[in-house]
Amino acid sequence: MPVIMPMIGNSRARKRTALALALAGLAAGATTGAAPAAAQPKAAPAAAADCSAAYRIEQKLSTGTTWRMCWRYHKEAGLVLEHITYQPPGEARPIKVLASAKLGQIHVPYDDGQNEYHDLTQAGFGQGLKDLAPGECPGGTIKTVRVPEAWDPSHQNVKGLCTTTRSRGHAYRMQGDTANKVFQKQGKDLLVYTVNQVGWYEYITEWRFQDDGTINMNVGATGSLSPMDYDAGDGRGWPIGKGAKAYATSHSHNVFWKLNFNLDGSTKGRIEQYDSKVSAPANGRPAPTNKTTRTPITKELAGDAKNMRWWRVVSATGKNKDGHARSYEIVPGASAKYPGRSYTQHDVYFTEYNKCEQYASDNLPNCGAGHGKSVDKWVNGQALKNPVVWVNVGFHHVARDEDQQPMPVHWQGLSVAPRDVTAMNPLTPTELADQNGRPE
Ligand SMILES: [Cu+2]
């Protein structure tokens, strides 16, 4: 039995959500096209601030890199980060990276086929924002978030957004001429996170901005196993508690992220896929060879992760000081891909920007008759001019005794890593600043 009862249990929360959604659906229908989250940035003068001070996050890390962004809070999707820029030491101005970044859905199907949830759109994810105790944002600031259309009007202001910094360990290390000359730097990250309760679960939505330009986005699930989801029968659960009576039902958490890049201020990025093929030694060579090919992705694509395959978003306009096009590489984390639904069958989706397409499944806005409700349906041959990147990372949760109590956080997510955004390691020490390219 849980020691602390969550405010609302699974079934009640979900019934309540269904009602709220029915009402919201009516409202949405009346204003077709007014999608809940307007992700595309307005064409604003470059000098103007993108948001008021209360919604600005700006952190200069001790290693010299500054990250800037705006945050807002959406009633279903939760935390939305916009106008994300990166300014490493040596860059005169902030480099635009992402126009908007947020969760695109958390899809939770149970192995026994009895339950399937879309946590953002049907189970109150956004409404479940929790107050953070002072101790759970170490060294940082907890901002107050106003939850739009709060179900509980007496609790619409939540101390729920933590921004803080954390050490990452080595950013690099390089032995110098002598043993006592070591070039090394300890990396620092900006962390931005919220906790959202859905039923008995609590999801930590964490964004980690590294001083070397990498962004990590992860969802951690903690809280409690749902007491309602037991006894699915042989082969679909795991015994929790004494003996072999109570089998917690296995299930998946399929988390989607929705990323709108705007490298150097343009949303017209190009998508490229890279594949490498290793062949046996030939032509008298002593070792196998590896050939890497680039495939421009010019039309919408549902892509599958594969050994030695990767994708990048290339800036339409920006180049680094070496004259190379700036890009960000998509680095999906470990994933247990769930083949049960058309939208969870692929690891990445590149779709042409459409304001109405907000959720990877159970898309809430009314996009008109015949417009599909999930991301796989939006891959239908359009040319990619303003690509939106959707990444699906699944976790198959087979409960274990250690999941009680509370359940330890299990994480899933991805990174996006700079590729040629700067001409050199952005944290290069001055003494090594001339070491760019083949040594003379
Ligand atoms: Cu789980």
The Å distance, Cα 345 to ligand 1 centre, comes to 19
Distance 247 CA to ligand 1 centre (A): 13
CATH number at residue 408: 2.70.98.20
- In a domain, residue 3? The reply is no
Counting residues of the chain whose pLDDT is more than 70, the rounded percentage is: 88
**One of 73, 86, 117, 119 is an active-site residue; which one?**
119
| C-beta atoms surrounding 87 within 10 Å | 19
Could you say which of 86, 110, 201, 359 is catalytic? Answer: 201
Q: Is 201 a residue of the active site? A: yes
435 within some domain: no
- Total tally of structural domains belonging to the chain: 1
Q: With CA atoms as reference, report the closest residue to 372 among 353, 357, 391.
A: 357
The answer as to whether 40 is a domain residue is no
pLDDT of res. 283? 86
Residues that place a CB less than 5 A from ion ligand 1: 397
153 inside domain? yes
What residues contact 268, with CB distance under 8 A and at least 6 apart? 316, 385, 386
Task: Establish if 266 belongs to a structural domain.
Answer: yes
Residue 285 lies in a domain: yes
Q: Give the distance (Å) from ligand 1 centre to CA of residue 226.
A: 9
Q: Residue 144: which domain range?
A: 10-31+53-428
Q: Tell me the per-residue pLDDT of 237-281, one tens digit each, with 9 for 90 and over.
A: 999 999 988 899 999 999 999 999 999 999 999 999 999 999 999
Per the domain annotation, does 41 fall within a domain?
no
Measure 220 CA to ligand 1 centroid, in angstroms. Answer: 10
**pLDDT (tens digit, 9 = 90+) per residue, 88-98?**
999 999 999 99
* Contact present, 253 and 333 (Cβ < 8 Å): no
Distance of CA 200 from the midpoint of ligand 1 (Å): 10
User: Where would I find the H helices in 266-386?
Assistant: none
pLDDT at 31 over 90: no
In 3-state terms, what secondary structure has residue 326? strand
Query: What is d(CA 66, CA 186) in angstroms, rounded to the nearest whole number?
Result: 16
Q: Is residue 39 part of a domain?
A: no
